[in-house]
Amino acid sequence: MQITIDGKRCEASPGQTVLAVARAHGFYVPTLCYHAKTGKAGKCRACVAEIAGMRGLQTTCTVEVKDGMVVRLDSEKVRKAQRLVVDLLLSSGRHDCLSCEKNGECELQAAAYYLGVKKPSFAVANDEAAKFDDTSRFVVRDDAKCIKCGRCVAGCKNTVCNDVLDFGFRSGRTKVICDHDQPMGASTCVQCGECVQLCPVGALVDKKAVGQGRVWDLAKVNTTCPYCGVGCQVTMHVDRPRNRIVKVTGRECAPNEGMLCVKGRYGYDFPSHPERLKYPMIKRDGVHVRVSWDEALDYTADRIRTIVGQHGPDVFSAFGSGRITNENNYALAKFTRAVIHTNNIDHCART
Ligand code: SF4
Ligand code: SF4
Ligand code: SF4
C-alpha cells in the first residue's frame, strides 16, 4: 500500500505505524516515550501529526497506516504542538545539559534542538523534592530529569521481567519508584541496567561511567560479551587515549536484543586490571616465571603424561566452562575421554 507524508508517496505495509513509515522514508519525527522494545505508548505526544479524516493531532507511534492515508508532519500546527511538549518537559525538571551525563545522546535535548526550543518558556519547576538516588552500586537515578515516559517501567516489567519499577503517587507528585518507594540500592533490583539503556534522558545513568568521558570522545567497539556461552552482543565505549572501557551497552540484535546481565554490563574492569594474566607462567622454586606458549604446553603435556603414567587415568579430571565455546568444551571432553581414558569431566554450569 501507499500513504502520503508531506506530499511524498511512501510505500507502507499493513500493521506498520505512521511513525515507522515516516522514519523509513527519512522524515524527522521526535519521540520520547516510544522505543522499539517497549512498543506503542502514545504518552508523551511528541510524535503527533495531522492525518486527513481524523480529528485533532494523532500520535504516529500508535496509529497504523491505511492505504491512501494522507499525513502532515511539517505543518505549523504539528510543530507548535511538539514544541509545547518539549518546552513543558524542559520546564518541569532540572535540565542542566552542560554537566548532564546524557549530554550528546539525550532524546529530549535532540528534540529541543531539531524543533528550535532554545530554553524553557514556563517557570522552571521547583525540584527541591526530586530525589537523587545513588544507593545502587551501578545505577544513578535523578528524578529531577525524569520525563515520566515509562520506558524504564515497561523494560523492567516486560522485557527483563524483574518488575522492580512502577509509577507511584498521583498527579504532579507522580514519579518512578523502586518496589514500595525504596532506595534503588535497597530494592529487589538485580542491576541489569536495562532501564538505564532504555531511558531517553539523564534520569538513569551508569554510575561507573559518570565523569569518565563525553559520548563524542569515546570510540564505539562492537563485540561479543566475554562472560558466558550465550554470546550477548555488546558495544564497548572506549576511552582510547587512556585505553580504558568506560561503559558497555547491549546491542539491539540477536541473541540478547540489548539486554545484558550485571556481569556483562558492569564487569568490564578486568581487561585493564594491573593483575590480569597476559602470558603463560611456570612456577619454579616458588616463583612464577614468564615462559613461551610452546614451553608452557610442552611442560603441561609432560606433567600429565608422567602423573597419569604413574597413578592411572582417574587421577586426572577436567572442568569445562560456560565462558568458552561449545566447540572448546567438546574438544575438552574428547581429550579427557579419548586421550586420557577417564570420564572425570565436569562443567561449572552443572551445579
Ligand atoms: S536529561 Fe537531556 S535535556 Fe535534561 S539535562 Fe540531561 S541532556 Fe539536558
Ligand atoms: S537495573 Fe534491571 S532490575 Fe534494576 S530496575 Fe533497572 S531494569 Fe529493573
Ligand atoms: S527514569 Fe527515564 S525511562 Fe524512566 S520514566 Fe523517567 S525518563 Fe522515562
258 lines ligand 2 (CB under 6 A): no
Task: Output the CA 285–ligand 2 centroid distance in Å.
Answer: 50
- Assigned domain for 296 exists: yes
Per the CB < 8 A criterion, the answer to whether 33 and 16 are in contact is no
Residues 102 and 183: their CA atoms lie apart, in Å, by: 22
Which ligand is nearest the CA of 201, by number?
1
6 and 84 belong to one structural domain: yes
Ligand 2 pocket test, candidate residues 38, 135, 139, 158, most atoms within 8 A of CB:
139
Nearest to 144 by CA among 167, 124, 119, 127: 127
Question: What integer pLDDT is reported at residue 86 of this predicted model?
Answer: 97
221 and 190 belong to one structural domain: no
- Assigned domain for 318 exists: yes
Task: Output the CA 342–ligand 3 centroid distance in Å.
Answer: 55
202 lines ligand 1 (CB under 6 A): yes
- Assigned domain for 300 exists: yes
- Assigned domain for 232 exists: yes
- Assigned domain for 99 exists: no
Q: Kind of pairing, strands 244-250 and 281-284?
A: unpaired
Question: What integer pLDDT is reported at residue 125 of this predicted model?
Answer: 66
Q: What is the CATH number for 69?
A: 3.10.20.740
182 and 136 belong to one structural domain: yes
Q: What is the CATH number for 267?
A: 2.20.25.90
Lining residues, ligand 3, CB within 6 Å = 146-152, 176, 198-199, 201, 203-204
Residues 88-113: pLDDT tens digits?
A: 999 989 999 999 999 999 999 999 99
Examine the fold and report which residue of 64, 91, 118 is the final residue of a domain before the chain moves on.
Answer: 91
207 and 220 belong to one structural domain: no
Q: What is the CATH number for 163?
A: 3.30.70.20
Ligand 3 pocket test, candidate residues 139, 145, 147, most atoms within 8 A of CB:
147
Burial of 25 from C-beta contacts in 10 A (0-12 / 13-18 / 19+): middle
Query: Residue 168 is part of which domain span?
Result: 130-211
Ligand 3 pocket test, candidate residues 146, 174, 195, most atoms within 8 A of CB:
146
Residues 146 and 144: their CA atoms lie apart, in Å, by: 6
Residue with the nearest Cα to atom 6 of ligand 2? 195
- Assigned domain for 107 exists: no
pLDDT band at 128 (very low <50, low <70, confident <90, very high): low
- Assigned domain for 152 exists: yes
Examine the fold and report which residue of 172, 193, 211 is the final residue of a domain before the chain moves on.
Answer: 211
Examine the fold and report which residue of 63, 91, 119 is the final residue of a domain before the chain moves on.
Answer: 91
- pTM for the full model? 0.87
Question: What integer pLDDT is reported at residue 129 of this predicted model?
Answer: 64
Task: Output the CA 272–ligand 1 centroid distance in Å.
Answer: 31
Residues 14-65: pLDDT tens digits?
A: 999 999 999 999 999 999 999 999 988 889 999 999 999 999 999 999 999 9
Lowest mean pLDDT among 2-6, 169-173, 212-216, 241-245: 169-173
Question: What integer pLDDT is reported at residue 4 of this predicted model?
Answer: 98
User: Helix/strand/coil (H, E, C) string of the chain?
Assistant: CEEEECCEEEECCCCCEHHHHHHHCCCCCCCCCCECCCECCCCCCCCEEEECCCCCCEECCCCECCCCCEEECCCHHHHHHHHHHHHHHHHCCCCCHHHCCCCCCCHHHHHHHHHCCCCCCCCCCCCCCCCEECCCCCEEEEHHHCCCCCHHHHHHHHHCCCCCEEEECCHHHCEEEECCCECHHHCCCCCCCHHHHHCCCCCEEEHHHCCCCCHHHCEEEEEECCCCCCCCEEEEEEECCCCEEEEEEECCCCCCCCCCCHHHHHCCCHHHCCCCCCCCEEEECCEEEECCHHHHHHHHHHHHHHHHHHHCHHHCCEEECCCCCHHHHHHHHHHHHHHHCCCCEEEHHHC
Residues 208 and 84: their CA atoms lie apart, in Å, by: 35
Burial of 248 from C-beta contacts in 10 A (0-12 / 13-18 / 19+): buried
Q: How many domains does the chain have?
A: 4
Question: What integer pLDDT is reported at residue 127 of this predicted model?
Answer: 62
Q: Tell which atom from ligand 1 comes closest to the C-alpha of 202.
A: 1
Q: Tell which atom from ligand 1 comes closest to the C-alpha of 95.
A: 5
- Assigned domain for 113 exists: no
